[in-house]
Amino acid sequence: MSDSRWDWFLRGSVTLWVTGPGTRQLLARLQREGVVMRDVRFTGDGVLLRTSVDGLRHLMASRRAYGVRFRVVDRHGAPFLGQRLLRRKAFAAGAVAFVAILYALSSIVWRVEVVGAEGEDQEAELRLAAAEAGLQVGQWKSRLAPPVELAERMVARAPNFVWVGVEIKGSVAVVRGIPKVPGVPQASQQPCNIVATRPGVILDVQASRGRVLVKPHQLVQPGQVLISGLLTDRGPSVPASGHVFAEVWYTSEVSIPLRVSSQGLTGTSVSRDYLAVGGARLRVWGFQEAPPTVYERDRETEWHVGAWRLPVQWVHATLYEVKPAVWQVDVAQARDEALIMAAADVRSLAGGDMVILGQSILQERLDRGTLYATILTRVQQDIGAKAPIPDVGSSPTSQGAAQS
């Protein structure tokens, strides 16, 4: 006979109270015949044991020969559970109705999420295209077209998007779109100069149009003309263009604490099991008290019936105890960290098109466990920017000559 607990559940099992003078001999015979008995407990008056329904039949066939009597204490398994449900038809009907309602609710689209739209107008356009394609809240998932076909319909109805993707996750429909990039504007043909935006020392000038007015190793100030749009003093003017690379200096004030505190795992953990129905979780195992400060890690099952994900899942959560830890940072390490922070600060100010040439600590001091440092960072960056060519006729000198 099978010793599987699952087989016992399907076939049914019973807990018996057996008494009589030949009880021990009968149990020994049943054991030799292969009848599986569990939870056997001998007392002075009799024996309490659990066996399958097939084992019960063997015991009934041999009980008179050994002069024993038995009483059914409890019944277990699917056959007896079915009998109880038949006696409680209202409860059984309610359980079936509950499962049917869960299945019906999980077969409907309850939310449509839009990802990738820039602004409310594009989001509204994508939602309208989805509704016209048949994807909207309250729609049965079985009546929806395949995601590829839905995406094609939406692209045809959303002229401001170059690509649309549709993904159904349970009762949520996710619509992802890539907006069209607007046309690149034409470069302005208005005559202009290239002027300095920051003080620095010129390293290299790469002029594609205009007249270069500076040379390497020259110190320039903000507003100074670097590439002129005037080809000659009184000649024609053009829109100057090019790149002017200069060495620029930035000063950063950085503070680094020498005493750093963080949190780490102690190794103590508590496990809990939940039955997740929709967005709610019902704890079914693990009621021991958790540590005061914990880090939780969850593992959720992926139960499916075909391609349909069941609304009921099992969640195993592990709560790890967290303990604060403090360590001391060396002054040399703090200096290195200060240089890294200063470099990040300069990158945020100067932009991505720059190269760090060097760093120097101008001043540092220790105060109450914190290192305060003033750091000079030398970078190479393009300091040129377009500026209109000033009107020579509107200068104070020319205006005064006109009045005289």
Tell me the pLDDT of the chain (404 aa) as tens digits. Answer: 456 667 777 778 888 888 888 888 888 888 888 888 888 888 877 888 888 887 888 888 887 778 888 888 888 887 777 777 776 777 767 878 888 888 888 888 889 898 888 888 888 998 999 899 889 888 888 888 888 888 888 888 888 888 888 898 888 889 988 888 775 455 567 889 999 999 999 999 999 888 999 999 999 999 999 999 888 777 778 899 999 999 999 999 999 888 877 777 777 888 888 888 877 888 888 877 777 777 788 888 888 887 888 888 888 988 888 887 777 888 889 899 999 999 998 988 887 678 999 999 999 999 888 999 999 999 999 999 999 988 754 443 333 333 32
Q: Copy the structure tokens of residue 23.
A: 């009880």
Q: Which residues does 369 contact at the CB level (< 8 Å), separation at least 6? A: 257, 258, 259
Consecutive H or E run containing 85? helix 78-87
Under 8 Å between Cβ of 274 and 287: no
Give the integer Cα–Cα distance in Å for 56 and 37.
10
Q: Do domains 5-82 and 111-179 have the same CATH topology?
A: no
Residue 115 sits at the vertex; the CA angle it makes with 111 and 119, to the nearest 5 degrees, is: 110
Among residues 203, 187, 209, which one has the least CA distance to residue 244?
203
Residue located via tokens 């320039």:
220
Which CATH number does 5-82 carry?
Answer: 3.30.70.260
Under 8 Å between Cβ of 113 and 175: yes
Q: Say which CATH topology domain 111-179 has.
A: Ubiquitin-like (UB roll) (3.10.20)
Under 8 Å between Cβ of 50 and 77: no
pTM greater than the 0.75 cutoff: no
Alpha-carbon dihedral of residues 147, 151, 157, 158, nearest 10 degrees? 130
Radius of gyration of the chain (CA): 41
- Where do the structural domains in the chain lie, given as residue ranges? 5-82, 111-179, 192-242, 259-327
According to DSSP, residue 398 is labeled H
Give the integer Cα–Cα distance in Å for 126 and 117.
8
Tell me the β-bridge partners of 15.
50, 74
